[in-house]
Structure 1
């Protein structure tokens, strides 16, 4: 089953949901701003994305710029910051089994469905 980590207020995230629906794909939705993501879950997502924690951070977010940008954070610290502040997590994230992509651009979702 495909899972999409979704922020309904984000246009790219909404486009990801539409792409899945338009292709007749069944999926689970995790509204990650409402449903807290655990450190373990976030670590698993990073492994499936095969990326470093900083690559999943929305570095243009005001919270990042104001509170974290100038800190030299370890990978573990970055994961904790994202778990504590899910608005900093890039979106949408689509997971299919052991594979995952960040749906930017939206067409990247097609790589794993």
Structure 2
């Protein structure tokens, strides 16, 4: 089953959800701002994305700029920052089986479906 980590206030996330709906495949919506990630859950997603934790951070978010910008942080500290402040997590994330992509641009979904 496809999983989409979704923020309904985000146009890119809504476009991604519409694309998945049109695919006709079974999917689950996870509203990541409401879902409380554990450190391990977010680490697993990052591993599936095959990226460094900092690559999942929305570095232009006010929370990041005011609290973390220009700080030297370990991968674990970056993940903790996202767990504590889910608004920092880039969206949308689409997971299918053991693969995941950040669906920006939307065409990234095609690499795993």
Q: Same fold (TM over 0.5)?
A: yes
Q: How far does residue 22 in structure 1 lie from its aligned partner after superposition?
A: 1.2
Shift in Å, 1:9:
0.4
Distance in 2 (CA, whole Å) between partners of 1:67 and 1:81 is 9
Task: Spell out, residue by residue over 1:59-78, the C-alpha distance to the aligned partner (whole angstroms, 9 max, x if none).
Answer: 01111111100211100000
Structure 2: segments with no counterpart, 5+ residues: none
Report the count of equivalent residues: 113
1:82 matches 2:101: no
Distance in 2, matches of 1:39 and 1:46, equals: 11
How many angstroms apart in 2 are the aligned matches of 1:109 and 1:38? 25
1:4-83 to 2 correspondences below 5 Å:
4-83=4-83
User: Paired residue for 1:95?
Assistant: 95
| Cα distance, 1:110 vs structure 2 | 1.4
Report what 1:110 is aligned to: 110
TM-score normalised by structure 2 residue count: 0.98
TM-score normalised to structure 1 length: 0.98
Q: Which runs of 4+ in 1 moved over 4 A?
A: none
- Give the whole-Å Cα distance in 1 for the aligned partners of 2:98 and 2:22: 23
